Amino acid sequence: MKKISAEKILSIEDTKGFLEKVKKLNVLVVGDLILDKFIWGSVRRISPEAPVPIVEVRKETVLAGGAGNVCLNIVDLGADVSLCGKIGDDINGQIFVDILNKRNINHSLITENNYATITKTRIIAGSQQLVRIDHEQIKNLISSELEKIKPFFKEAIRRSNAVLISDYGKGMITPSLIQFISREAKGRILTVDPKINHFSYYKKVTCLTPNQYEASAGIRLPEPQNQESINRLGIKIRQKLKCRNLIITQGKDGMTIFTETGEIYQLPAISKEVYDVTGAGDTVISVLTLALANGFDILKAGLISNFSAAIVVQKIGTATIMPVELENIVRENIREISITKY
């Protein structure tokens, strides 16, 4: 075990070069689509009807969540993106499409009758999330729906530098879709933010990015309690799935990177203040994918995505990062960060 200065891995010049070159990149995103609604207000009193707070609403906002948030992270950094997913033929589905159109996100969406667009509504008072209300109807992608998106996918993959799978376990990701993607994306960077029940789908991909709980549950092992057990867990996942690289995100403890050459690196969390982890995994895999497509090795790509996560957890709600924020956080912190190599 030894300590390595992060400054030896990622420089300010690397970061600036990445932010400039990212404008020439194109990523194809495939995954579950969720409409994120936020009700913002304040609490001044408790209800006389029940022991619950009364939220005085100030505003309401809507954002593209799930794979949609991944796309917003990518376009906010300056790259182009294409999106495949599924919505319902309803008002929330139209709101989702409107968001994509306003951001000029190229898309091919399956719109299904008798299906409600998955929607998460968060009620936030000040900086505190009080409750989340989920409306979801999980229906797996069927063969006829897959056939509808194949032409778009084949055209999008032709001009893309990478393919990103954002798996929220809401029905879009199926074995037949993964088989199709693996065949068509052969030779491309393929990154996956996996869901527990779908771990076995993702063999020989470029990189998986589960969190600590997903990583252990995905291969039916107890959740690790220390860094040594995380290291053992990551080795087992790579052996089982034959993925080239693996990143296990650890929240306040940072992330651990497992490379295709068998090296293990632990990166500490950078953010001193965590307000909301909503969508942090989306930011990590978005920046990671862009960095790999830019030619960064997995350690440098993981490090810059770790800085990105530090930005987004300081924001309330589903959020993205801007280029200037990424450049600033690297400049202000890179000299203070040490990476542990096992």
Residues identified as active-site? 282
DSSP string, 93-155: HHHHHHHHHHTT-EEEEEEETT-PPPEEEEEEETTEEEEEEEE-------HHHHHHHHHHHHH
For residues 312 and 315, give the distance between their C-alpha atoms in angstroms, rounded to a whole number.
Answer: 5
H-only helix segments in 185-226: 212-218
The pairing of strands 162-166 and 189-193 is parallel
Asked if residue 138 lies in contact with residue 171, where contact means CB atoms within 8 angstroms, the answer is yes
Taking the alpha carbons of 217, 271, 76, 303 in that order, is the dihedral positive or negative? negative
Question: What pairs with residue 341 in β-bridges?
Answer: 2, 265
Q: 33-46 and 119-125: which strand pairing?
A: parallel
Question: Are residues 62 and 99 in contact, defined by beta-carbon separation less than 8 angstroms?
Answer: yes
- Three-state SS for 318? coil
Q: Which two tokens stand for residue 62?
A: 């809507």
Write the CB contacts of 86 (distance below 8 Å, at least 6 apart in sequence): 32, 33, 109, 110, 111, 112, 115, 141, 145, 171, 172
Q: Quick one: CA dihedral 23, 28, 29, 35, positive or negative?
A: positive
* 3-state DSSP assignment of residue 163: strand
- Residue 339's nearest CA partner among 309, 313, 304 is 304
CB of 234 within 8 A of CB of 246? yes
